[in-house]
Structure 1
Amino acid sequence: MDSSAHQNEPVMVPEIAEHTLVTKLLEMSESLLAVLDHERRVIAFNQQLLAKFKIKDPERQLSLRMGEIFQCRYLDPEKGCGNGPYCETCGAAIAIGLAAQSEEPVERICALSVENRESGEEKDFSLRVRCVMFQDEDRHYFLVFLQDITRQELWFTFERFFFHDFTNLCTGLISTGELLSFRYPQDPWVQRLNNLLNHLMSELQMQRRFVQDGSGNFTPSFAPVDVKKLIGTIKKLYGPRCRQEKKTLTCRILSEVDSFVSDETILLRILTNLLTNALEASRSGEEIRLEVEKQNDKLVFSVRNQAEIPEPVKRRIFQRHFSTKPGEGRGLGLFSSKVFAREFLQATLSYHSTPAEGTRFSLSVPLGLKPSG
């Protein structure tokens, strides 16, 4: 047997070795996997589980329960794993207990605190435990799959802290900006500051909705969008920058459409991304145009600038991670805009670029959608 095969060889009692399918599953599974007998004692585990919990002398660990093998901090030394006061709320114990009463797999989250008795080191894990019972003649066993989600749970916690603290910070900044507006009502920089702060809060709230959804089934919030107000917001956001860079922003509403239904925050995110790209591609003295026009059952937002996109770049314009700008974390702007348009607004994003006409990105948003709820 070669060394790689030996490294994947599970540790098990002889009765499990007779089950070819279970043995192969133990060898091939990338998950942390254990097999328990009817008394919830571990009679087999794979190498991935041994490595994760740094289990020494694995053969001597067979016939112990999971909490005893993992050196659970809350293990009752007299009653054993599964019978102590903390075990009533143990996700693994609950999953195994419910699986014994069901033919279906049972999944629970287990908060495991491990205490190494030799080194005194303590470590906390968050494990997704999935358990299913199977029978062989008059005996039954449990297959227990473990997934370490400690880092994900920690990341989710940090995200919640971030959104909570950053929202409070933005609220304080917006309140300060409003006080400045009372004192300096005509100051253009105070007005720009307030516009940017309100836009920042909208972006933050949208990101929070994405994160809190977590299931991949994010639902946009459709509501009436006032076309003139939307264009006015964009002018306030980009007017000062255009003047500073000596570029011209021209906004035109070419069709009589007062309002339409969409998710305004996502729509504004896409348009600001397109306008930012157009500004960065334009030289001093050039014009950027934003036009809104009804075309059949669509409302088309067109962002134009005078520069042509180079031919090699055109072929990869919407490709994820592709960017002409240096540095890491690039190449998500146009990619995310196209995905957001398609997945959340039921819209399409396309472009046309020639030396004579420059570059035009067109966002076609459907008319006739109904508000959410």
Structure 2
Amino acid sequence: MTEPDSFFASPERTPTEGIAPQAQALGEARFCLDILNFVPTPMMVLNENRQMLAANQALLTMFEELGLAPVPGMRPGEALGCVYSATMPAGCGTSEYCQECGACQAILEAEKGQTCRRECRLTFRVGEVLRAAELEVTASPLDVQGKRYTILSLLDVSHQKRRQALERIFFHDLMNSAFIVSGYASLLGSLDKEHARLGIQRILQAAQRLIEEIQIQRDLLSAEQGDLQPVTEPVHPEEALRQVAADYLSSPLAQGLTLDVQPVAELPALTTDRLLLRRVLSNMVKNALEASAEGETVAMGVRPIDSEVEFWVHNSGSIPRNQQLQVFQRSFSTKDRNRGLGTYSMKLLAENYLSGRVAFESTPEEGTTFRLRIPFQAPPPSGVERPAAS
């Protein structure tokens, strides 16, 4: 079966030699570009094929700060380094992933004569480094000398989204653990010795979850800022997998479910960051447990593949296709608003810090399997050392 030229927007492009005359014609309307340069929000002007003809000073500054070097004729995703912009030969706007892109949706509405505002979760690369941003995009039609253009504004709301996610973590996850600590502590004086011992154990577990959640958020912030330094050491793959499984055996998430660690022959030790590996594996298992119904089994295993090792976690549920296209985007979640850091952090930590990659497949017939593949021997670390746990 032949793959289509586009899964969403038109694949047609203005040839390179046609971009300069269009940009020149637009530049003759100096008042328009002068007004754009007074606006502090990054903005670009697109032609009928969604290709960039001009950018205001705010956008040029943003490109410079990110280390990007776009040229006229690029589409927005290509200029911003979107990881999906080169998925199809025709570029930005034509892949299956672009169906869920707020920027592309807004541009297509503007081409119909309507001003449209959407949220765009952008995953992009600067060099080999994976990064993410949440943008509020607004696309509006612009008529200049009888010619129709589209103005696209890009307001970065990443800090607002991050604050919302941290508020959710603080008010929900951390408060739940704090209530457990407080509840058991208030009962200790009235319990017999055996129940008091159990209460102390519950307090310690809840306190440990509090500490781990704070450490996870601290490390994730450091990872996004490029300040996280992997601390490599020998790690036995099957041991790492079993430790993560053991962490969840007593978790409420695993109640009514079976955690099945598949047997594996002894493998050579990895040289990797033990804590970051555990974070990624833990998120893989947590997602599978949350997606499973009572009585179902979550299976997990590890196997060597040439010079790499592959960890995998499987559950019988499936992810709808429109959600699959957004799984690794920051702030996207299949659960509720202001979450979505789990799968994003898996990809961020695996690609930027473990020299690996995370992928998944999901169908109603086969269920869902997430896979983490990393090299047996990590490359030499660089950067700033990870803060020690306090």
TM-score range, shorter chain: 0.3 to 0.5
State the TM-score, normalizing by the size of structure 1.
0.46
Specify which structure has the bigger relative contact order, considering alpha-carbon pairs within 8 angstroms and separated by 6 or more residues: 2
